[in-house]
Amino acid sequence: MTEYDREIGALSGKVEALTDDIEEVKDDVKELKGDMKRVLAYMDREEGGRAARDKLQARWDREAGASVANQHFQVELTWTKIMALAAMVGSLTGLIALAPHFFFHMG
């Protein structure tokens, strides 16, 4: 196993860990949505303030949307870095394989 294979294996492990983290975040978001529904139901019962409920719901939606969008961006950025590294490894491997051939013809 070459050093490059070990690097790619390590990166694959990181991708799997990130995937697991994303699943955990999704579960947390589901749990928070349930909590939000309970809070909103309480507000409807106790305060009877539909405007207050709508305002709070809008704020949560904005915050949740921004948080999820940021998490997706971070995952995409990480995946892009991994793919760029894999491309560099492939390019370096190709250059190393062609170097003797190139220098043989130059000499």
75 in Cβ contact with 22 (< 8 Å):
yes
Q: Residue 97 has what pLDDT?
A: 65
Over residues 48-107, the pLDDT tens digits come to 666 666 777 777 777 766 666 666 666 666 667 777 777 777 666 666 666 666 556 555
DSSP-H helix ranges across the chain:
3-46, 50-106
Q: Residue 18 has what pLDDT?
A: 80
Q: How far is CA 12 from the centre of its chain?
A: 14
The number of distinct structural domains making up the chain is 1
Query: Which residue matches tokens 């793919």?
Result: 83
81 in Cβ contact with 11 (< 8 Å):
no
- Domain of 9 in residue numbering reads as 3-106
**Tokens in use for 75?**
């995952």
Q: Residue 17 has what pLDDT?
A: 81
